[in-house]
Homo-oligomer: A and B are copies of this chain.
Amino acid sequence: MHDSSASEAAEAKDSPLRSGPLDRSLGYRLRLAQILAYRNFEETHLDQGVAPRYLGLLSLVSANPGQPQNKLAEAVGLQKSSLVTILDRLEKDGILERGPIPEDRRAKGVWLTEKGGQVVEELSREAAAHEARMTEGLSETDRARLIEMLGVVIENLRA
């Protein structure tokens, strides 16, 4: 027994669902925004292999060359075991390479190859465009504020 008046019937057909109490929650919107953003970016770069998906990681390596895998894993929020497969793939694609770290013979450092550097540069430009699309309707100061506040949230969750 759905309480269907005319307006609700139309609503049932085509409109977005009514927000639950959680729709206004940070966690819910974080998740949804992230899923959509990720998918959207990947869909527009189907031709470029797996690199787009791991641009965050690649960019991190670019800014911190030679870091051991476990630090990279923690920084991007993945398990070190997950990173193994990813690095295997990116290494096979000639985008990065692993090498020994003199200070610790257990560890392996990660570096971008020359090709990897180009890929990161290229993708970063496209990511900026994607970024602009996502934040359409927000002023520049709002955009900066949004990113800053997300930083606060991340810090809170890391503690």
Complex Cα distance A25/B67, Å?
A: 21
Question: How many subunits of this chain does the assembly comprise?
Answer: 2
Q: How would you classify the secondary structure of chain A's contact residues: helix, strand, loop or mixed? A: helix
Smallest CB separation, A70 vs chain B (Å) = 11
Interface string of A18-45 (1 = CB under 8 A from B): 1111111111111111111111110000
Whether A48 sits at the interface, judged by CB under 8 Å, is no
Are B33 and A124 in touch, CB under 8 angstroms? no
Contact of A134 among B26, B55, B77, B124 (CB under 8 A): B26
Are the C-beta atoms of A32 and B154 separated by less than 8 Å?
Answer: yes
- Given the interface contacts A22-B55, A138-B152, does A38 sit within 8 Å of B27 by beta carbon? yes
